């Protein structure tokens, strides 16, 4: 774009280009592009675009310094830079800095609708329903009309505080402000009604959506299925799922995983049957699919099946993000059964996934304690894994040293 000499570019064009560079090439390229801009193009819009890049990368120090520069140049006469800073402080949990930003904003301009929605988000993070009501009153003072997002946030605040009557009133106000063009609002309405255990309105809104829109998206199917499962209406959820299955072109496992999770918690045989059904219909099973099945097998103490599913889960993940609660649950099941062999298998899987810690070895040793067996070359293996021994490790090693060495079939996960 900038290489065409016959195109006259404005600062706004450069601002858009800065946003694109930030998304595609990263922050370093964004700063370099900004530094190389002609002086006359370093205006409010390009400075604000750079500020947004700092906000998206959660860099408060750089953002605060840039705000000082913008203030010295008279570039803070609109809400946008202040809204960016509010967004930054809320997303990084620095809620104590929000009042200061608002004070500075009011010295330079008038808050807008987005400003107040951000303030409500801050109130939600603090569980501050009184503060939220003050925000709504201030909006009236400034004659700023709340939108559906405003009342969506307010509904969530009231629900969190346990004021369900006010939550229902806010939700009604939200729905009054939603029109056909606000399609993204409808899943929020469904989710909020489900949180209020209002199945009638969940189904009513879903029915209205199907009348308004020719085709439902995967995101919308995911929302209604999750809401119906939350309401324990599995029969209706199965009907909706079958409808999705008959029209989908994506075969997205995130949809089928919703029902799978329900079955895995309530009926493992049904979960197995459904899993086979999804495989036949061409759905590619994801990490979450296998983890969900593993948790189901853990629940019914079928540890061999749980380990098999976790092996498939780890192999399906590009990089496994350690889930310590899952690891503890698996070792707890293995310990309950005195299954040291299974513990060794799981250690191998965790090592292959890049997660071996002192706690992992201690949990393995507990399976040996329960099995009343002595593990082999644990200290050597921990050294090879670059894992240190702690007091609990030494205690468990002393305890297991009293037992006989495990049978020749016991895996040594070296």
Measured CA to CA, the distance from residue 168 to residue 158 in angstroms comes to 9
pTM: 0.89
Q: How far apart are CA 235 and CA 249, in angstroms?
A: 23
Average pLDDT (65-86) is 97
Quick one: pLDDT at residue 253? 97
Alpha carbon of residue 328 to chain centroid: 22
Rounded Cα gap, residues 271 and 284, in angstroms: 16
**Rounded CA gap, 114 and 120, in Å?**
10
Look at residue 6 and tell me whether its pLDDT is greater than 70: no
For the cut 80, the answer to whether the pLDDT of residue 4 exceeds it is no
Report pLDDT digits (tens) over 330-389: 999 999 999 999 999 999 999 999 999 999 999 999 999 999 999 999 999 999 999 999
List the Cα angle 402/408/414 in 5-degree steps: 85
Beta bridge partners of 405: 374
Cβ-contact 165, 173 below 8 angstroms: no
132 contacts 117 by C-beta, under 8 angstroms: no
Among 154, 148, 156, 215, residue whose Cα is nearest residue 177: 148
Q: What is the pLDDT of residue 405?
A: 81
Given a cut of 90, is residue 404 above it in pLDDT? no
SS3 197: coil
Number of Cβ within 10 Å of residue 151's Cβ equals 24
Residue range 91-150, pLDDT digits in tens:
999 999 999 999 999 999 999 999 999 999 999 999 999 999 999 999 999 999 999 999
Residue with tokens 């496992």: 253
Q: What is the pLDDT of residues 222-280, one digit of tens each?
A: 999 999 999 999 999 999 999 999 999 899 999 999 999 999 999 999 999 999 999 99
E strands, 312-392, are 373-374
The C-alpha atoms of residue 370 and residue 386 are separated, in whole angstroms, by 26
How far, in Å, CA of 137 to CA of 141, rounded?
Answer: 6
CA 323 – CA 5 distance, rounded (Å): 54
pLDDT tens-place string over residues 244-259 = 999 998 999 999 999 9
């Amino acid at each position: 774009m900038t290489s065409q000499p016959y195109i006259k570019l404005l600062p706004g064009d450069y601002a858009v280009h800065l946003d694109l560079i930030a998304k595609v090439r990263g922050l370093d390229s964004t700063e370099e592009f900004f530094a190389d801009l002609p002086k006359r193009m370093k205006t409010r819009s390009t400075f604000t675009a750079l500020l947004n890049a700092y906000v998206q990368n959660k860099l408060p120090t750089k953002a605060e310094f840039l705000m000082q520069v913008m203030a010295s140049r008279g570039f803070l006469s609109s809400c946008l830079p202040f809204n960016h800073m509010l967004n930054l402080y809320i997303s990084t949990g620095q809620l104590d800095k929000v009042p200061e930003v608002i004070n500075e904003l009011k010295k330079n301009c008038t808050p807008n609708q987005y400003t107040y929605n951000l303030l409500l988000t801050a109130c939600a993070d603090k569980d501050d329903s009184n503060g939220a009501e003050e925000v709504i009153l201030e909006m009236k003072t400034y004659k700023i009309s709340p939108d559906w997002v405003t009342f969506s946030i307010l509904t969530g605040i009231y629900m969190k505080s346990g004021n369900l009557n006010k939550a229902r009133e806010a939700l009604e106000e939200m729905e009054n402000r939603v029109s056909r063009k606000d399609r993204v609002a409808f899943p929020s309405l469904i989710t909020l009604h489900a949180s209020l255990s209002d199945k009638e309105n969940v189904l009513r809104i879903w029915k209205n959506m199907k009348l308004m829109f020719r085709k439902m998206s995967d995101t919308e199917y995911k929302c209604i299925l999750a809401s119906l499962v939350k309401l324990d209406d599995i029969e209706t959820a199965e009907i909706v799922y079958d409808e999705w299955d008959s029209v989908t072109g994506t075969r997205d496992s995130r949809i089928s995983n919703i029902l799978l999770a329900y079955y895995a918690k309530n009926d493992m045989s049904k979960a197995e049957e459904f899993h086979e059904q999804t495989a036949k219909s061409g759905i590619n099973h994801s990490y979450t699919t296998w983890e969900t099945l593993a948790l189901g097998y853990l629940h019914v103490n079928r540890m061999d099946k749980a380990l098999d599913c976790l092996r498939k889960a780890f192999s399906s993940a590009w990089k496994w993000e350690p889930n310590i609660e899952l690891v503890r649950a698996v070792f707890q099941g293995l310990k309950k059964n005195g299954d040291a062999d299974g513990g060794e298998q799981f250690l191998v899987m965790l090592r292959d996934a890049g997660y071996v810690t002192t706690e992992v070895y201690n949990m393995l040793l507990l399976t040996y304690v329960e099995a009343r067996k002595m593990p082999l070359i644990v200290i050597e293996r921990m050294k090879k894994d670059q894992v240190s021994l702690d007091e609990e490790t030494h205690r468990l090693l002393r305890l297991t040293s009293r037992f006989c060495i495990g049978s020749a079939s016991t895996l040594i996960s070296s």
